[in-house]
Chain A
């Protein structure tokens, strides 16, 4: 079956612009996660959805970052007033829920802020 998909695969933007990153989870997965991976680092947790609600957004670095999952499937990560430090690969993962379940990762969106 289809895995987690993310669009776009690459996004180049200018400092100060607004960007949206999209994640399409595996069908039927109730849990969805966003992580951010900087060069040479492991992924860092941003936010976790169970269904439509954000169950844990403790990893969002500041109020420029926001994510939604209005129908409990596709999620969009939104970044306002982008900064050069936001440049990273943004990874999305989904699972069947439950902390112990394997998280299936998408290929990521590489965001470059010039």
Chain B
């Protein structure tokens, strides 16, 4: 069975600091997709990124960047120059190509960005 681990329960940073959220996954499948979702205080999950298991290229989108390393089964997320609006719970999730359409989520990392 697949599993996603987000070991950091809560991270607090001061605005403008860089912060990295860790995600480690477990699966025996060779083809899968990884996702990051943001859950602000309003509660609605917001999609951030999708990455397939064959594409290990890092990706940058504005202040966000993602580092996918298959060798360590990690898909880490970095926010550069954090802002108060980044405060939210961030979830990493996994979906198997042969396992139906269900997302397996980690337990989330609560990010607090303070002034």
Kindly state the interface size class of chain A when it binds its partner. 20 to 34
Task: Give complex CA distance A93, B105 in Å.
Answer: 14
A91 and B45 within 8 A (CB): yes
Interface residues on chain B, number (Cβ under 8 Å) = 27
B64 contacts the other chain (Cβ, under 8 Å)? Answer: no
Which chain B residues lie closer than 8 Å to A59 at the CB level? Answer: 102
B101 and A42 within 8 A (CB): no
Contact with A along B1-34 (1 / 0, CB 8 A): 0001000000000000000000000000000010
Which chain A residues lie closer than 8 Å to B43 at the CB level? Answer: 89, 107-108
- Shortest C-beta distance, A90 to chain B (Å), equals 12
Q: Which B-chain residue is minimally distant from A40 (CB atoms)?
A: B107
A33 and B102 within 8 A (CB): yes
Q: Which A-chain residue is minimally distant from B48 (CB atoms)?
A: A102
A48 and B44 within 8 A (CB): no
A44 and B100 within 8 A (CB): no
Which residues in chain A, 62-107, are within 8 Å of chain B measured between CB atoms? 89, 91, 93, 95, 98-100, 102-107
Which chain A residues lie closer than 8 Å to B96 at the CB level? Answer: 99
Which chain B residues lie closer than 8 Å to A33 at the CB level? Answer: 101-103
B107 and A55 within 8 A (CB): no
A51 contacts the other chain (Cβ, under 8 Å)? Answer: no
B100 and A56 within 8 A (CB): yes
A31 and B101 within 8 A (CB): yes
B63 contacts the other chain (Cβ, under 8 Å)? Answer: no
A107 and B42 within 8 A (CB): yes
Given contacts A42-B91, A42-B93, A100-B52, contact A55 B100 (CB under 8 A): yes
B44's partner among A44, A50, A99, A107 (CB-CB below 8 A) is A107
